[in-house]
Amino acid sequence: MPDMQDDSRGELRQSFFAKQQLISAAKTAFQQLSAVLKNTTLYPEEHPFLRASAEKLLGTIEALLVDRKEVAFYIVGGELFFETLSVPIDQSLSLLMEQFTSRDVSGIIFKPGLTEMELIKFAALMSKEPAFFTAQGGITEVITQEGMAHIELHRVMVVDKKVSGAIKIGKKKVAEIYIDAIETVKEMVHAVHLDKAINMRQMNTTVQTMVDNILDNRDALMGLTCIKMYDEYTFAHSINTAILAISLGSFLSFGKSQIAALGVAALLHDIGKVNVPHEVINKPGKLTDEEWEVVKRHPIEGAMILSDTPGVTKLAMVAAFEHHQHGDVQGYPWIDDRLQQHPFSHIVSLADAYEALTAARVYYKVQISPEQAIRILVKKRGNVFDPTLVKAFVNMMGIFPIGTLLKLDTGEIGLVMHQTRDLMRPRVLMLSKFDGSEKKTGAEISLLETVGGKYKRSVVGTLDPAVAKIDLKTYLG
Ligand SMILES: [Fe+2]
Ligand SMILES: [Fe+2]
């Protein structure tokens, strides 16, 4: 990784470890809650075993309450969240979560002043059949009647609406960001054609907006990279590569200024192509040897253009020069004294390759699914791509990246919208009509949802959007 002098890097690293610690404490609390629930079914209220398990749970909650006003757990689509952090769960905890959701509970909030006795009462209540609560007018009413003042429950509907609302707000904004970015890149290419300087101020603002939004809501901008704009493809390719590179930088906990520099480098990586004739760049068939030699010059042309551009970081020049060098002999430009490429070049190269593979229709007429593209990168790790980076990229994208169409064992079809903790079990939008109407009306479900401790739905395969005659734009745009 690059030598990072940036203070924010240290902060990010620190917050990364703090986050992991929080997640682990939250998991412990939920496991202890599970133990208390089990013990209420085995022992009477005063039994020391039951008291001891409640005391442990209270201790963990109190420790979490030291620097926050309340300890809040949410269950959304089979996933457990502590505040906004996703908490990994196993089979036994998934059964506990089902126990809550079947009683219309999707949020459990513990407040300061909580007692052992309240926890025991709460656990005993949760063991009652769902019908009991319906008869009493709902679980929140029962909680109030029983005098549990330091436990607050949220009902399933409220939380789901909140989450889907947040996602929709994010989407409207990102489409605008994407269109603005296309304009910036177009102007930049135009300037280079006219031998004018690139407007680096505009470029930096565009990248900064992208970085801020990706740090905020990575999935929304990532969804847009799946829509291949064939008419504007040359521009879209740079933007998609930048979105992927920025996302990977943030996934690796780089500092914000480092991520921005990486974004600029990715956005400018193919700038040398302005000096390759249009007919060659857009030639649908195989290139002749001479044409190929011209294409292979674009990293050198790019580095030369950028070395002349005031305000551009040296890293962008380096990444433009190195992004096709890879670690093997087929890389270009070939130089005798082969140095190791800069880590930013490796990241840009990986993002570039994934983007080009998934847009393969432009060149080869066959569509490579996001899932196939991931497999190809994995195969090429080691000799072409940095293996550690490939691993991080797969962890970030998931085995089934956003925009993949999945065949499920229930016979249903789902479109991947978000990743979850489990790379094999993303959150999908259920499709039945394939005309785009599901975007408004369809249910988004998580493949982590269980019933009786077993997964409700699992992936059996993927589908090509072209074969299924689905226009991804209507869902992800
Ligand atoms: Fe390139
Ligand atoms: Fe490229």
Q: 465 CA to middle of ligand 1, Å?
A: 27
124 Rama class: left (phi>0) / alpha (psi -120 to 50) / beta: alpha
- Mean pLDDT within 84-103: 82
- Mean pLDDT within 326-345: 79
* pLDDT tens, position by position, 26-71: 999 999 999 999 999 899 888 999 999 999 999 999 999 998 999 9
Considering the chain, what is the average pLDDT of its residues? 85
What contacts 18, CB < 8 A, 6 or more positions away? none
Q: 397 CA to middle of ligand 2, Å?
A: 19
Of 260, 147, 238, nearest to 189 (Cα)? 238
Q: 344 CA to middle of ligand 1, Å?
A: 14
3-class secondary structure, 22: helix
Residue 362 has a pLDDT of 54
Instruction: Grade residue 3 by pLDDT with cuts at 50, 70 and 90.
Output: very low
Q: 238 CA to middle of ligand 2, Å?
A: 7
Query: How far, in Å, CA of 327 to CA of 353, rounded?
Result: 14
Q: Which ligand is nearest to the CA of 331?
A: 1
Residue 5 has a pLDDT of 44
Q: Which ligand is nearest to the CA of 297?
A: 1
Q: Are 151 and 143 in contact (CB under 8 A)?
A: yes
Residue 11, pLDDT above cutoff 70: no
Q: 300 CA to middle of ligand 2, Å?
A: 13
Q: Are 327 and 343 in contact (CB under 8 A)?
A: no
Q: 255 CA to middle of ligand 2, Å?
A: 24
Q: 431 CA to middle of ligand 2, Å?
A: 33
* pLDDT tens, position by position, 419-460: 888 889 999 999 987 777 887 777 889 999 988 889 999 999
Residue 169, pLDDT above cutoff 70: no
Q: 299 CA to middle of ligand 1, Å?
A: 7
Residue 160 has a pLDDT of 45
Q: 296 CA to middle of ligand 1, Å?
A: 8
Q: 359 CA to middle of ligand 2, Å?
A: 11
Q: 49 CA to middle of ligand 2, Å?
A: 63
Higher-pLDDT residue of 441, 365:
441
Q: Token pair for residue 1?
A: 């990784």
Residue 465 has a pLDDT of 76
Q: What long-range pairs does 415-421 form, CB within 8 A, spacing at least 24?
A: 415/470, 415/472, 415/475, 417/219, 417/223, 417/444, 418/219, 419/219, 420/79, 420/86, 420/446, 420/447, 420/448, 421/79, 421/86, 421/88, 421/448
Residue 363 has a pLDDT of 57
> Would you call the peptide bond into 333 cis, given omega within 30 degrees of 0 as the criterion?
yes
Q: Which residues of 379-401 are buried (b: 16+ CB within 10 A; e: fewer)?
A: ebbeebbbeebbebbbebbbbbb
3-class secondary structure, 159: helix
Q: 167 CA to middle of ligand 2, Å?
A: 30
Instruction: Grade residue 365 by pLDDT with cuts at 50, 70 and 90.
Output: low
* pLDDT tens, position by position, 119-140: 999 999 888 888 888 787 777 7
Q: 321 CA to middle of ligand 1, Å?
A: 9
Q: 316 CA to middle of ligand 1, Å?
A: 13
Q: Which ligand is nearest to the CA of 238?
A: 2
Q: 307 CA to middle of ligand 2, Å?
A: 19
Q: 5 CA to middle of ligand 1, Å?
A: 29
Residue 370, pLDDT above cutoff 50: yes
What contacts 465, CB < 8 A, 6 or more positions away? 367, 405, 471, 472
Q: Which ligand is nearest to the CA of 351?
A: 2
Query: How far, in Å, CA of 225 to CA of 278, rounded?
Result: 23
What contacts 95, CB < 8 A, 6 or more positions away? 450, 452, 453
Q: 348 CA to middle of ligand 1, Å?
A: 9
